Amino acid sequence: MTEGDLAIQGRAIQDLTIHVCTACRRARADLPEGYDQPGIALAEALTAQLSAKGSTIAVLPVECLAVCKRPCTIALSSEGKWTYLIGDLDTQTHLDEIVGAAEAYAASANGIVPWKERPQSFRKGVVARVPPLPARQQG
């Protein structure tokens, strides 16, 4: 089992999870490989910042969010709420915006943060908004 997509098994469900794609590659001529994987640094920075704040928001690195042309990509998801897929993020530029937007998302009733209240990077970077799964009916 890899640390990533399957890593959520056995963990406590948090109020909000920020899934961070760690597979996306960004071209970097200054590196011998010719690229970096910015999601790895973003996941680490988010974890550190949220932990320092004592936040209950979980950060979950995932193998791929299938938005390879828009690194760095995250998904904000929570039970019963819309899920947002956001691309074109940068750790140094957008870290505080991501944390603030995640906190606003967590505080919302349905996951929809009004457009005017979203940071600029979230206004421009939305790849998709996915509806929540319908509640299971007992019976």
**Range(s) of the domain holding residue 118:** 17-130
Full pLDDT tens readout for the chain, 139 residues: 344 443 444 343 458 999 999 988 877 777 777 667 889 999 999 999 999 999 999 999 999 999 988 989 999 999 999 999 999 999 999 999 999 999 999 999 999 999 999 999 999 999 999 999 887 777 6
Kind plus residue range of the DSSP H or E element containing 91:
helix 91-107
Residue 47 belongs to some domain of the structure: yes
Residue 91 belongs to some domain of the structure: yes
Please list the helix, strand and coil fractions of the chain in percent, rounded to the nearest 5, in that order. 30, 20, 50
Structure tokens at 63: 């193998």
What angle in degrees, to the nearest 10, is found between the helix axes of 38-53 and 91-107? Answer: 50
Residue 138 belongs to some domain of the structure: no
Phi, psi of 24 (to 5 degrees): -55, 140
Q: Residue 25's domain is classified under what CATH number?
A: 3.40.30.10
Domains contained in the chain, number: 1
Residue 39 belongs to some domain of the structure: yes
Between β-strands 126-130 and 58-62, what pairing exists: parallel, antiparallel or unpaired?
Answer: unpaired
